[in-house]
Chains A and B, each alone.
Chain A
Amino acid sequence: MKSIATVNRRLGFVLLAASALLLAVFGAAACRDSGPEFPERDIKWFVGFNAGGGFDVASRAIAEAMSDELGVNVVVENIPGGGGRRAAQDIYRGEPDGYAVSIMNMPNQITAERLDPQGVSFDELKWVGRAVIQTYGMYTTADSEWRTPQDVAAAGDDVRFCLTGLSGHSFLVASVSTQVMGIAWNPVTGYQGAEVQAGLLRGDCELAVGPFAGSTLDAVQSDDFKGLWMYAAERFSLTPDVPTVGELGFGDLAGFANNGMVAAAPDTPDDIVAIIATAFDNALGNADVARTIADRGMAVARLTPEETREAVAGMDGVVSANIETVRQRSQSQ
């Protein structure tokens, strides 16, 4: 006959095993309900440019607001190099854990990648959303008599563009515009920042194209220069007198802009991307963040992760359609 003590011991084991089973089952269910334990540590936010630029300022404001949302620090890290390529490569080859995201200048980086491939496939990145947008515009000196693309085209070969170089988005915008609008193509390159305006004033060139933000916006708003047209569907609130390309009969060219788009590494789990995207979107809704961005001549233009992915695919298509023109014009110099 088994003793009471032995029965109790067996009963104890059974109860213990049952408890463990219950804990395992309910624990797993609880874990499934609460989603991944993310984030557990600081998140890096790469900026592929030096501190102080438009995207950097916007990134810092957004990262601060995201830190409050996520309960961990979102730390901005400037990784300048190759016109943003280094940061893009770091995120593309990074761990798919969501602890690093990068803001990228689109479609600038697509153009650069197409002209000089470095193995970054933008459609593989996990897109979080769009932070800011800087719309492009064409401008000239205030004393110029030109008002429309037809006026400029009528000037024949006496039209030169002051540009940064033969690889950026300004180059693509100028290349495509001249082709579509029938304007002569004479680029003068090597102008950084406000040098473009000095070049216009000296007569090195007659036209300049660039995002109407920062020092370019200051110039267009000054008495020395005037905006000719903007590549947008609607007029820009900070330059209300400047018509859109649509108003001038070239609506197909609307949409040229620098887009500050944020991505995580390829293969980052969707639930982690969703957590980052929610915090990111809430940060963009913060009034202080919006004010900081607007002060730099940029605009908040929110997109969901899926919309961002589609927008990048669309830009890829535009760049691909025009890259031969850009390449030929680049090589002809």
Chain B
Amino acid sequence: MFQDIAAALGQMAEPAVIGAIALGTALGVTFGVIPGLGSVIAMTLILPFTFGWDPIVAMYVFAGIMGTASTGGGVPAILLNTPGTIANVCTTFDGFPMTQRGEGGRAIGLAATASGLGTLFSIIVLMLLLPAAEFMLRAFGPPDFFWLVILGLIAVTFASRQNMVKGLAAGGTGILIALIGFSDSLGVRRFTLGSEYLWDGIEIVPLVVGFFALSELIVYTSRGGTIARGADVQLGGMRQILRGAAEVFRYKAILVRGSIIGTVTGAIPGAGGAVANFLSYTSAKQASKTPELFGTGYAGGVVASESANDAKDGGILLPTLTFGIPGNGEMVILMGAFVLHGIQPGRDLLVNRTDVLWAIILGVVAAQILTTIIVLGGGAWLARISLVPVKYIAPFVAALSFIGIYAVRSNVWDVALAVFAAIVGFLLRRAGFPLITLVIGFVLGSLAEKTFVQSLQISQGGYGIFFSRPVSIIIILTIAAAMAWSLRQAWRPAERQERRG
């Protein structure tokens, strides 16, 4: 492992890798700062362009974006009261009041440093767990994978708390879309309507570009104006920013708790940065001796929010790299990048492609350090990007999307699919269906089918294989516990209302 790390560190001195980290960081911070865009859209847009690149260089770009968007997203949350990404919502609670007091710089210093330290913490945890990944891969057979995928699907569905029925419908639709195409496991065509284009199934790149980037553009364009509504940007000078950066260490307990919550939450499919953000903020408030200060411009609130939303990076990479189970939108795109560059998560990545593995891990660390410096130095200037009128941003992003999609396979039907996905995505958004759940259903659906068929082939038709392995039993119990907990949470408000009544 140390040899691999040393080789990856040596590689980081190469101009192409330095350029890739810089590009990923620039994209991540920029898309993070612009509210509503975020890392998924940044990764989606750059994905087709990386086709034909050295896979290592491409992975540094993706790692750069992953590690930085939520750090960038803290800037408009603090200065404009508009979270750059959904994982920065809690940052507005205390960050914006600080800006209103003329302490925006201090809040940015706190946020950037907490983000950086949170990421470093989670990456260290990931590095400590990686040696066990090979053992985990041997321990997890197809029946265990099947249950793990089911756990992921259930977790993702429950994560869409606004409307579980719509979450289930979106996830189920994703699974159905995954069935389209030639099934190598069964040797049959399904739902291809005689079309040669659908033989390979629905391509992930045009699907996600349409769903995430293009449908978002339709939303913005139909609304007009600028992405963020105007607000006074009050920073307070560089000295204040540095003061904030140093002040983080006064909130050690909040920082460590937020980092742990972020790392653990990140490893649970469907939870991601937004859940980590809320859990960390709520637990910090509950544990505080002065909970009344939270929400009034309290520095500890910014640390709690920002440490957790970035600490999810290390946790979320673990199931993706070892099992190929993506826990959120970023990981779905990373899986798409793996497909594009001929990389198989799991044993191939852990044994044969350690260069790619460490490019991702060290790329996240390098980009996070770079972002912390960028945000500390130029956060206020970056926040003004979100005040550029949409009519200038939308055509540029749309053209970039179409060129990128066509570049991957030189297939004009991929562009048509992206346009179709954009329209469907726009309508689904308006109807309140979670698109992330749909795409995760799409990715996990094919995995669920594959592992189900494999299990039955291994047992030569015996269903007992699903219930006889220790790992499977543990996962089944976890699924049962997760479902019981979620149902209890869902019934609680009704119970309270009854009691009140």
Residues of A in contact with B (beta carbons under 8 Å apart): 50-53, 77-82, 85-86, 89, 115-116, 118, 157, 160, 164-168, 186-190, 192-195, 197-198, 201-205, 215, 218, 330-331, 333
9 interchain pairs, CB-CB under 8 A: A78-B409, A165-B185, A166-B186, A190-B451, A194-B347, A194-B352, A195-B347, A198-B346, A333-B185
B141 to chain A, nearest CB (A): 5
Contact A194-B348, Cβ < 8 Å, known A52-B342, A201-B138, A205-B458: yes
A190 to chain B, nearest CB (A): 4
Task: Give complex CA distance A116, B351 in Å.
Answer: 36
Contact A195-B348, Cβ < 8 Å, known A81-B411, A164-B184, A166-B186: yes
B341 to chain A, nearest CB (A): 7
| Residues from chain A with Cβ under 8 Å of B55 in the complex | 52
| Residues from chain B with Cβ under 8 Å of A333 in the complex | 185-187, 457
B1 to chain A, nearest CB (A): 18
**Chain A facing B: main interface SS:** loop
A128 to chain B, nearest CB (A): 22
A324 to chain B, nearest CB (A): 14
Cβ-closest chain B residue relative to A194: B348
Contact A81-B184, Cβ < 8 Å, known A52-B342, A205-B458: no
Per-residue A-contact encoding for B45-73, CB less than 8 Å = 1, 0 else: 00000011001000000000000000000
A-B pairs, top 6 by smallest CB distance, nearest first, are A165-B184, A166-B187, A194-B348, A198-B347, A330-B187, A188-B457
Query: Are the C-beta atoms of B458 and A204 separated by less than 8 Å?
Result: yes
Task: Give complex CA distance A54, B204 in Å.
Answer: 24
Among B185, B347, B410, point to the contact of A190 (Cβ < 8 A). Answer: B185
Query: Are the C-beta atoms of A166 and B184 separated by less than 8 Å?
Result: yes
Residues of B in contact with A (beta carbons under 8 Å apart): 51-52, 55, 137-138, 140-142, 182, 184-187, 189, 196-197, 199-200, 340-342, 344, 346-348, 351-352, 409-411, 450-451, 453-454, 457-458, 460
Query: Are the C-beta atoms of A202 and B141 separated by less than 8 Å?
Result: yes
Contact A195-B346, Cβ < 8 Å, known A85-B196, A189-B185, A190-B184: yes
Task: Give complex CA distance A118, B140 in Å.
Answer: 39
Query: Are the C-beta atoms of A331 and B187 separated by less than 8 Å?
Result: yes
Query: Are the C-beta atoms of A190 and B453 separated by less than 8 Å?
Result: yes
Cβ-closest chain B residue relative to A81: B200
Query: Are the C-beta atoms of B342 and A186 separated by less than 8 Å?
Result: no
Query: Are the C-beta atoms of B454 and A190 separated by less than 8 Å?
Result: yes
Contact A215-B454, Cβ < 8 Å, known A51-B51, A115-B187, A204-B142: no
Query: Are the C-beta atoms of A82 and B196 separated by less than 8 Å?
Result: yes
| Residues from chain A with Cβ under 8 Å of B347 in the complex | 194-195, 197-198
A141 to chain B, nearest CB (A): 12
Task: Give complex CA distance A160, B456 in Å.
Answer: 12
Task: Give complex CA distance A118, B192 in Å.
Answer: 13
Query: Are the C-beta atoms of B457 and A189 separated by less than 8 Å?
Result: yes
Query: Are the C-beta atoms of B346 and A194 separated by less than 8 Å?
Result: yes
B303 to chain A, nearest CB (A): 41
A216 to chain B, nearest CB (A): 11
Among B185, B344, B409, point to the contact of A80 (Cβ < 8 A). Answer: B409
Query: Are the C-beta atoms of A165 and B187 separated by less than 8 Å?
Result: yes
- Taking A166-B184, A205-B458 as known contacts, 17 extra A-B pairs with beta carbons closer than 8 A to each other, sorted by chain A number, are A50-B341, A79-B409, A80-B409, A81-B199, A82-B182, A85-B199, A86-B196, A116-B189, A166-B185, A168-B184, A190-B453, A194-B346, A195-B344, A197-B347, A198-B137, A204-B142, A215-B352
Cβ-closest chain A residue relative to B348: A194
A319 to chain B, nearest CB (A): 16
Task: Give complex CA distance A82, B413 in Å.
Answer: 14
| Residues from chain A with Cβ under 8 Å of B200 in the complex | 80-82
B151 to chain A, nearest CB (A): 20
| Residues from chain B with Cβ under 8 Å of A81 in the complex | 196-197, 199-200, 409, 411
B461 to chain A, nearest CB (A): 10
| Residues from chain B with Cβ under 8 Å of A115 in the complex | 187
| Residues from chain A with Cβ under 8 Å of B184 in the complex | 164-168, 189-190
Task: Give complex CA distance A9, B70 in Å.
Answer: 90
| Residues from chain A with Cβ under 8 Å of B199 in the complex | 81-82, 85
Cβ-closest chain A residue relative to B324: A195
Query: Are the C-beta atoms of B351 and A167 separated by less than 8 Å?
Result: no
| Residues from chain B with Cβ under 8 Å of A160 in the complex | 457-458
Task: Give complex CA distance A264, B148 in Å.
Answer: 48
Query: Are the C-beta atoms of B410 and A77 separated by less than 8 Å?
Result: yes
Task: Give complex CA distance A242, B185 in Å.
Answer: 30
Cβ-closest chain A residue relative to B137: A198
Query: Are the C-beta atoms of B341 and A52 separated by less than 8 Å?
Result: yes
A204 to chain B, nearest CB (A): 5
| Residues from chain A with Cβ under 8 Å of B186 in the complex | 166, 333
| Residues from chain B with Cβ under 8 Å of A51 in the complex | 51-52, 342
| Residues from chain A with Cβ under 8 Å of B52 in the complex | 51
Task: Give complex CA distance A168, B187 in Å.
Answer: 10
| Residues from chain B with Cβ under 8 Å of A82 in the complex | 182, 196, 199-200
Task: Give complex CA distance A165, B460 in Å.
Answer: 16
Task: Give complex CA distance A255, B175 in Å.
Answer: 41
Among A168, A188, A197, point to the contact of B458 (Cβ < 8 A). Answer: A188
A159 to chain B, nearest CB (A): 11
Task: Give complex CA distance A50, B52 in Å.
Answer: 9
Cβ-closest chain A residue relative to B413: A81
| Residues from chain A with Cβ under 8 Å of B342 in the complex | 50-53
A220 to chain B, nearest CB (A): 13
Cβ-closest chain A residue relative to B54: A52
